[in-house]
Amino acid sequence: MSTQTAVQPTDAEPIEAAVRPWDVFRTEVAALVRLSPAFVRVTFKGPSLAHFADNGFDQRFKLIFPASACGYDKLPTGDRWYSELRSLPEDEQCGVRTYTVRTVRPELGEVDVDMVIHEAESDEETGPALEWLQTAAVGDELLLLGPDSRWDGPHGGVDFHAPEGAELLIAGDETAAPAIAAILEDLPATARGTAFIEVPTAEDALDIEVPAHVAVVWLPRDGAAWGERLVPAVTEAARRMDFGAEDDAFVEIDDEMIWDAPETAPATGSYVWIAAETGVVKTLRFTIRKELGLPKESGAFMGYWRNGKAWD
**Residues in touch with ligand FAD (CB under 6 A):** 60, 97-100, 114-116, 118, 124-125, 127-130, 175, 178, 304-311
Task: Count CB atoms within 10 A of the CB of residue 96.
Answer: 19
Task: Count CB atoms within 10 A of the CB of residue 148.
Answer: 17
Q: At 217, give phi and psi (nearest 5°).
A: -115, 115
Smallest distance, ligand FAD to C-beta of residue 24, A? 18
Taking the least distance from each CB to ligand FAD, the nearer of 22 and 293 is: 22
Taking the least distance from each CB to ligand FAD, the nearer of 113 and 191 is: 113
Smallest distance, ligand FAD to C-beta of residue 45, A? 18
Question: What's the rounded Cα separation, in Å, for the pair 131 and 71?
Answer: 14
Residue 10, classified by CB atoms within 10 Å of its CB into exposed (0-12), middle (13-18) or buried (19+), is: exposed
Taking the least distance from each CB to ligand FAD, the nearer of 239 and 309 is: 309
Inter-residue contact 47 to 28 (CB < 8 Å): no
Taking the least distance from each CB to ligand FAD, the nearer of 45 and 118 is: 118
* Residue whose beta carbon is closest to ligand FAD: 127
Smallest distance, ligand FAD to C-beta of residue 23, A? 18
Smallest distance, ligand FAD to C-beta of residue 302, A? 6
Residue 196, classified by CB atoms within 10 Å of its CB into exposed (0-12), middle (13-18) or buried (19+), is: buried
List C-alpha distances in Å: 271 to 6, 77, 161, 193. 61, 39, 8, 9
* Greatest pairwise CA separation for the chain in angstroms: 88
Paired with 105 in beta bridges are 110
Taking the least distance from each CB to ligand FAD, the nearer of 134 and 268 is: 134
Taking the least distance from each CB to ligand FAD, the nearer of 147 and 178 is: 178
Taking the least distance from each CB to ligand FAD, the nearer of 24 and 176 is: 176
Smallest distance, ligand FAD to C-beta of residue 173, A? 8
Pick from 143, 59, 70: nearest CA to 104: 59
Smallest distance, ligand FAD to C-beta of residue 40, A? 9
Inter-residue contact 260 to 207 (CB < 8 Å): no
Pick from 150, 152, 151, 132: nearest CA to 142: 132
Smallest distance, ligand FAD to C-beta of residue 57, A? 12
